[in-house]
Structure 1
Amino acid sequence: MIVDTTTYKELTRPMYVLEEWRLRRNLEIIKGVADSAGIEIILAFKAYALWKTFPIFKEYIQSTTASSLAEARLAYDKFGEKAHTFSPAYTDYEIDEIARCSSCLTFNSLSQYSRLHDRVREVNPEISLGLRVNPEYSEIETDIYNPCAPGTRFGVSADALPETLPLDIEGFHCHCHCENGSDVFVRTLAHIEEKFSGWFSQIKWINFGGGHLMTRKDYDIPLLVRTLKNFRARYPWLKVIMEPGSAFGWQTGPLVAQVVDVVEDHGIKTAILNVSFSCHMPDCLEMPYHPAVRGAETIEEECPDYSVPFTYRLGANSCLSGDFMSAWRFDHELQVGENIIFEDMNHYTTVKTTMFNGISHPALAMVHNGTNELEILREYTPEDYFSRMD
């Protein structure tokens, strides 16, 4: 099917659409940063795991990062390379298979390291082991995404580290960003060095985690590259790794939905769609953030004026009362069957969707370069819902 990517008028069912040229643009930017700074940038599955696009990724990057057995298997089985793996806690019944699927494995605590490191090395003698460290500094404003907030369950603080690291600890992993700019990384790096540089002579690699949104238009890439080059000049023996997720999927395509009905109560019009914020766009409710809708003005006032023509809430077709968002202002009266296009819906969406209420799941599709041909990568049926409980 050839589609008009402006309106997607050819679509009559909900669908996540990945536009290949946008993905390749992001990959080229990321590869350019890695090459210029002399570091390795790898894909974090927690933000993007559409494995049918991995052949494209492998033209630009060589590795991925996992945080569970399923993600480690995804790296090994589908990407074709062992993963850089981190988990808050590895379980006895999964650790052996995780170790087999991992090239690097990071422990979240010294107690997990003490209990499991011999077993991990027995399963995979070539694996490189690391510790997650907590620099106790982050500029993430939304607490649910802040891994350095007081009481965090992530990482070892500097005052808890032994003066001499265990001999088989080869790296540090620290993650303190969420869709941040390079200016934030500069400030964060100062804290990381202040807290942990005393141990740098004992390790071989450092992973600065994810949240580096280097494909955003206003991201200062030259500042990032200079900062990384200067860091490597100070510690030339350290291999530097970054593992963004959102940066790969950023602005690569929309979620296309359709209006199923329009209802009104107390002067508030709600366009009911065949998608769900709770099921298909969970970050909109969790973070929260107000998604852009193509062709509509976003109204972020606490009490929108619904008397203004063509002002609507957008509501889901689930039975969760709070499964709606407000408000958007269109330039026309919404009609049953017309498309509502939610922009930028390929990162932290498909990896977090649920089948709550058995709502029809959006299909996954990719628009290919040059031809605008839409390839359906995956469609879902009620059997997929049944199989969750088999």
Structure 2
Amino acid sequence: MTELPADLRLPDVTDPQTVNWAEIPSPAFVLDETRLRRNLALISYVQEKSGAQIIVAFKGFSMWSTFPILREYGISGATASSLNEVILADEEMQGEVHAYAPAYSDEDFPEILRRSDHIVFNSLAQWERFRPQVEAARQGGRTIHAGLRVNPEYAEVETDLYNPAGPFSRLGVTRREFPDTLPEGIDGLHFHTLCEKDSDTLERTLEVLEEKFGEFLASDQVAWVNFGGGHLMTREGYDIERLIRVVRAFRERWNVHVILEPGSAFGWQTGWLVSSVLDVVHNVKDAVLLDVSVSAHMPDVLEMPYRPRILGAGDPPDDTHREADAGASGHRYIIGGTTCLAGDVVGEYVFPEPLKVGDRVVFDDMIHYTMVKTTFFNGVKHPDIGILHADGSYERVKVFGYDEFKAKLS
């Protein structure tokens, strides 16, 4: 973890080498309570020192069985991107509900409005479409904060799939499309251009934002600015003090309330995906079939793409993804999933001992942006959701079965 002031004590975390993985039913997403608490302690520190409000983005982390723990650390709400997430935030997070979606439907919006405290609109047309409903709710005594998402057309995101400020982006209003004055009824602005970035990227982004939208920030009409997500403050080496300094300076410069809504920062390095070997086959090279699916249970491995870490395994000496791990000589296997999709493959890894049926294969850092994106493709068994508690006990929070699979079909 990054260096912090001496008065900030972060809890120790579970050493995965001490976990008896064979005792955990496979397959399972396993969240480590000690790691979650460490992240929350750091996030709480940033919130206190910066004066910003930090809420959890459900699109990255929505494990609602942990929400009581989040509330212990002063996390006061959540941001939702759909009616379903809005309902989850309202019923389970029990705090402020901040809604943003690229487009709201006539069918969903009334319930979104009923349950939300902040609603951000992606376009001027969407605001004008739903403004009468917002104004009616306000006249009825509700305090509804309405914002517009702006697109500063600046981002430092390497992967086009995750770049919201790329050419011809549909996300947010650019300066050239922005009106000369803020629409009546709008009291905040929102931008989201970061993806697992450090605070220096935020600082450069704010310079562009202020250059393009400073005249609106200076308006008494703007009471709050939502910085979106992508602030990976719990990653080792992240410059926490710069983040605090940048946020405080922005708040003081424009006299606004600042909101951060990271998802990855909450679930970063908080757990694993436990799987078991079902078979080992040979076709020039050895290949392992696991009781999980890459495409169904960790889709970012294929979409991003990226190469996940497997506990106890290394890279082959000729691996092109990164330099070979020291001492990575051993037993080489192509690691694949259990669906019939030919590309349901993670890649090739080296294990110190031969793998056999029943052995556990544990993927690291599989909580944020993983559980939220799983599917029931091919009808393969969906991993459990469990919590490894601080006292070492394991709680099987959710077991998926045929009913969940069937419910998605007709």
Q: TM-score, normalised by structure 1?
A: 0.95
CA distance, structure 2, for counterparts of residue 331 and residue 10 of structure 1: 21
Equivalent residue for 1:344, pick from 365, 372, 376: 365
Equivalent residue for 1:28, pick from 22, 27, 41: 41
| Cα pair 2:137 2:144 within 8 Å, conserved | no
Q: Detail structure 1 runs of 4+ shifted over 3 Å in the superposition.
A: 3-7, 302-305
Cα offset, 1:350, TM superposition: 1.1
CA distance, structure 2, for counterparts of residue 82 and residue 118 of structure 1: 22
Does residue 231 (structure 1) correspond to residue 250 (structure 2)? The answer is yes
Change (3 A) 1:240 1:97: same
Partner of 2:395 in structure 1? 375
Equivalent residue for 1:132, pick from 141, 146, 149: 149
Partner of 1:366 in structure 2? 387
CA distance, structure 1, for counterparts of residue 374 and residue 322 of structure 2: 29
Partner of 1:165 in structure 2? 182
Cα offset, 1:121, TM superposition: 3.0
The percent of aligned pairs where both chains have the same amino acid is 45
Cα offset, 1:7, TM superposition: 4.3
State the SS of the aligned residue for 1:55.
helix
* RMSD, matched Cα: 1.8
| Cα pair 1:296 1:328 within 8 Å, conserved | yes
After alignment, is 292-301 or 103-112 more displaced? 292-301
Change (3 A) 1:302 1:179: closer
**1:36 partner letter:** K
Cα offset, 1:282, TM superposition: 0.6
CA distance, structure 1, for counterparts of residue 357 and residue 291 of structure 2: 11
Does residue 319 (structure 1) correspond to residue 347 (structure 2)? The answer is no
| Cα pair 1:96 1:120 within 8 Å, conserved | no
Partner of 1:117 in structure 2? 131
Cα offset, 1:389, TM superposition: 2.0
Partner of 2:273 in structure 1? 255
Equivalent residue for 1:219, pick from 224, 238, 242: 238
**1:364 partner letter:** I
CA distance, structure 2, for counterparts of residue 222 and residue 18 of structure 1: 28
Q: TM-score, normalised by structure 2?
A: 0.90
Partner of 2:408 in structure 1? 388
CA distance, structure 2, for counterparts of residue 152 and residue 91 of structure 1: 20
| Cα pair 1:5 1:372 within 8 Å, conserved | no
| Cα pair 1:95 1:120 within 8 Å, conserved | no
Paired positions, count: 384
CA distance, structure 2, for counterparts of residue 277 and residue 231 of structure 1: 42
**1:48 partner letter:** F
Cα offset, 1:8, TM superposition: 1.2
CA distance, structure 2, for counterparts of residue 59 and residue 205 of structure 1: 25
Which runs of 5 or more structure 1 residues have no equivalent in the other structure?
none
CA distance, structure 2, for counterparts of residue 172 and residue 304 of structure 1: 43
State the SS of the aligned residue for 2:372.
coil
Equivalent residue for 2:228, pick from 199, 202, 209: 209
Change (3 A) 1:106 1:301: same
CA distance, structure 2, for counterparts of residue 126 and residue 20 of structure 1: 35
| Cα pair 1:292 1:298 within 8 Å, conserved | no
Which runs of 5 or more structure 2 residues have no equivalent in the other structure?
1-15
